[in-house]
Structure 1
Amino acid sequence: MQASSPTAYERLLPWKQMVEVGFWVVYIAWNASFNSITVLMDVHKSSLAFADWEPVVWEWSSGLTWLLLVWPVVRFTAWRPLRWTGWGRTLTEYLLASVVFSMLHVVGMYALRAWVYRWMGGEYGFGGWLSAWPYEYLKDVRGFFVLVVFIETWRLLMRRLQGEAQLLAAPDEGPPLEPVERPERFLVRKLGRDFLVATEEIEWIRAAGNYVNLQVRGHDYPLRSTMTEISGRLDPGRFVRIQRSYIVNLAQVASIEPIDGGEARIHLKDGTVLPCSRSYRTALRERLGAGEG
C-alpha cells in the first residue's frame, strides 16, 4: 500500500525549532538595527555629544537582553497558560511576570552597556536607573504582552496544522448516540476537516499546559483539558495514569522496566518509552495482572 504523503505539520516538524529561534533572532535584530539608525539620526539632528557607536550599544544591549528573555517567557506561558476562566488571577500572574521581565531586561541591558563602555575605554553611568525603571516598565510591559501574543498565536497555528481534538458534546435534541461521560470517540479538527478518532486508538496521553496531547498512530492531537478531567472520562479498565503528566493505554504496554527509587520505564509496543512514578507503579502492575515481585 502506498504511503500517504506527509502533512504540512510533519514537513515543518524537523525545522520547527530552527524556525522559532530564527524568527526571534531576525525580529529582534531588525528592531535593534532600525532603532539604532533612528536614534543615531536624532542624536545628529540635535547635535548631542554622543559617539556614533553609543546609540548602537543602547539598542543592541536592549535587544540582546530581550532575546535572552524569550525562552523564559515561553516556559512561563506553558507553565501558566492563558485561561478565560479565572481571568482575574491569570491577569495578575501575567502582570507580575511582566514586572520580573522588565527588571531582568533593565539589569541585563545596563550590565551589557557597562561592559561595552569599559571595553571602549569609557564608563557607563548607572545613576538614577532605579528611578527611571517605571518609565522602562511602561515600554517593557507592552513588549512582554506582544511577546505573549506572538507565542500563543504560533501555538494556535501549530495546533491547527497538527489537528485539535474535542470531546463530543450532547446533541441539542434527543439522546446521545454514545455515553457523553465516557466517550467512545473524539472529534478531531484538522485544517478545516473533521474526523472521528476511536478512544481505543489512543496510545498514550501527555499533559501540555492547559491541553493534553492524545497520541494516536504517531500523531499528537491537543485536547483542551486537564489530566484529572480526561482521566475521569476514560475507561479505567483500559487507561491508567502512570505519572503526573502521563496516561497510557494498557493494551499498548509491552513491558515494565524497574529503575532506581521505585520508579519505572514503560515500554510500549511501538518502542515508545514513558516514565512511571513510584506512586503509580503498583497500581499499574495490578491492572496488568502482575504481582509486585
Structure 2
Amino acid sequence: MDPNLPHRSSPRWRPASRLLVWAAILLGSAAANAVVEVMDAQRRGEALALWEPMTWELSSAGMILLTLPLLWWGCQRWPLHADTWRRRLPLYLAASVAWSLLHVVGMMLLRHLAYASVGEHYVDGSSWPTRLLYEYLKDVRAFFSFVAIEHFFSWFGRRRQGEAHLLAAPEDAPPVEPVDRPERFLVRKLGRDFLVATCDIEYAQAAGNYMNLRVRGHDYPLRSTLAALEARLDPARFVRIHRSYLLNLAVLVSIEPLDSGEARVHLADGTVLPCSRRQLPGLRAALGHGGAADALPSAAPAGAST
C-alpha cells in the first residue's frame, strides 16, 4: 500500500464505474443500430452482412470510450462555472474539434483493420474533408452532451457531498464562539445547513487550494490551506503528521514505524495515514504531553520480526 494515501477512500462514482456504464450504453446502442442497418438494407432489397454495420458502429463507439477519460480530465481541469463559462467556451469549442478529429481518424483506422482482417477492403465513398465535416456535425453534439452530463454529475456530487465553512460572526452581535478556536463548522449539503463539531473531525487532508475534512466516513471540502486551519485548531488535539495531513489525536489507535524513518498511523475506523519522518517526533511529543503515550499501542516496524 502507498503510505502517502489513505487506506480508505470516500464513496464516489469512480471513473471505472462511469466507463462501464457508458460502455454498456454505447455498445448496446451500437448493436441496435447495426441491426436496424441490416433491416433497412433488406427492405431496400440489398444484401448486407451483419458484421459490416457492427464494424461501423463498434469502431465509433470504441473510439468514444477510449477518449472519454481524456474528456473527463478536461472537464475537471477546466470546470465550467457561472463566472468562467464565457471565458472557457472557446476552449471547449476547440477541444470539440480536436476530439472529433481523434474520433474520426481512430474510427477509420479500426474499420480498415477490421475489413483487412477478413480479406476485404473498406471503401468510405466520400472525401476526407466531407467525412470530417459530416462527423464533426454529429460529434459536436455528442461532445457537449458528454460535457453537460459530466458537469451535472460533478455539481450534483458536490451538492450531495457538501461543503464546509467556518462559522461567520453575526454583523450586529458578538461571535457565538471564539474566532481563533472554532468549535463547530457549518456544512452545507443538499441545500441544508448542518453544524459539525470540531472534535468530530478525524483528519484534514490538503487538496490543492482547499482541503477535505473527514467526518464519520465523509469528506467535506473546505476552502482553506492546511497551515491556516492548523493555526486555528487546538494544538493539544490536532497535530500535523504530514505536509498533507492534520490528525485528530482522539482517533489515533497505533503508530507503525517504518524502516525509512517514517511511519503509518492507524485510526479507529481502519484508515491508515502517512506520518513523515519530520513530523513523527512532534506526534510522539504530543502523545507524551497528553499522557497517552503509554496507553497507545505501537506496531512493530514493517518487515521486522516479532
TM-score, normalised by the number of residues in structure 1: 0.68
What residue number does 1:286 align with?
282
Distance 1:20 1:284 in 2: 39
Cα deviation code 1:77-108 (max 9, x no counterpart): 34544444554664455445444433332232
Letter in 2 for 1:272: T
Q: Which moved more, 1:21-30 or 1:171-180?
A: 171-180
Closer/same/farther in 2, CA of residues 84 and 36 from structure 1, 3 Å limit = same
Give the corresponding residue for 1:77. 75
SS in 2 for 1:240: strand
Please name the residue that 1:54 is paired with: 52
Q: Pick closer, same or farther for the CA change 1:169–1:276 going to 2, 3 Å.
A: same
Match of 1:32 in 2: 30
Compared with structure 1, are the counterparts of its residues 98 and 161 closer, same or farther at alpha carbon in structure 2 (3 Å cutoff)?
same
Q: Does the CA-based 8 Å contact 1:240-1:284 persist in structure 2? A: no
CA distance in 1, matches of 2:13, 2:22: 15
Number of the residue aligned with 1:255: 255
1:23-61 Cα distance to aligned partner (Å, 9 max, x none): 312321343244445655666778889755433322221
CA offsets 1:96-144 (integer angstroms, 9 cap, x no match) = 5444433332232122211221123212258854774354334333322
Superposition map of 1:38-117 within 5 A: 53-87=51-85, 90-91=88-89, 94-95=92-93, 97-117=95-115
The equivalent residue for 1:5 is none
Q: How does 1:168-247 map to 2 (within 5 A)?
A: 168-171=167-170, 173-178=172-177, 183-190=182-189, 193-206=192-205, 212-217=211-216, 219-223=217-221, 225=223, 228=225, 231-234=227-230, 235=232, 237=235, 238-240=238-240, 242-244=242-244, 246-247=245-246
Uncovered stretches (5+) of structure 1, i.e. residues with no partner: 1-12
> Does the Cα contact within 8 Å between 1:250 and 1:288 map onto a contact in 2?
no
Once residues 258 and 112 of structure 2 are traced to their aligned partners in structure 1, the CA distance between those partners, rounded to angstroms, is: 53
CA contact (8 A) 1:80 1:209 kept: no
Q: Distance in 2 between matches of 1:78 and 1:247?
A: 26
Report the RMSD for the aligned CA atoms in angstroms: 4.1
Aligned to 1:282, the other structure's residue is in SS state coil
Equivalent position SS for 2:212: strand
Shift of 1:162: 4.5
Residue range with higher mean Cα deviation, 268-277 or 45-54: 45-54
CA drift at 1:206: 3.6
Larger mean CA deviation between 203-212 and 67-76 belongs to 203-212
Identity of aligned residues (%): 44
Paired residues of 2:241 and 2:274 also in contact (CA < 8 A): no
Separation in 2, partners of 1:17, 1:242? 28
1:133 corresponds to = 132
Contact 1:240/1:249, CA 8 A, preserved across alignment:
no
Partner in structure 1 of residue 148 of structure 2: 149
8 Å CA contact 1:114–1:123 kept in 2: the answer is yes
Aligned length in residues: 270
Helix, strand or coil at the partner of 2:285: coil
SS at match of 1:31: helix
Pick 1 or 2: higher relative contact order, CA cutoff 8 A, min separation 6. 2
Output the CA distance in 2 between the equivalents of 1:189 and 1:27. Answer: 34
Greater shift, 13-22 or 81-90, is seen at 13-22
Q: Is the contact made by 2:35 and 2:50 (CA closer than 8 Å) also made in structure 1?
A: no
Inter-partner Cα distance in structure 1 for 2:241 and 2:81:
25
Structure 1 residues 21 and 130: CA distance shift in structure 2, 3 A: same
TM superposition shift of 1:191 = 5.1
Secondary structure of the 1:289 match is: helix
Q: Work out the CA distance in 1 between the residues paired with 2:74 and 2:259.
A: 31
Q: 1:125 to 1:171 in 2, by over 3 A?
A: farther
Find out whether 1:275 has 2:271 as its counterpart.
no
What is the deviation of 1:62?
A: 0.6
Amino acid at match of 1:232: A
Task: Give the aligned residue type for 1:225.
Answer: R
Deviations 1:7-26 (A, max 9, x none): xxxxxx69978863443123
Change (3 A) 1:264 1:134: farther
CA drift at 1:184: 3.0
Q: Give the superposition deviation at 1:186.
A: 1.9
| Cα offset, 1:76, TM superposition | 4.0
User: Which residue does the alignment assign to 1:3?
Assistant: none
Decide whether aligned partners of structure 1 residues 73 and 167 sit closer, same or farther in structure 2, where only a CA change above 3 A counts.
farther
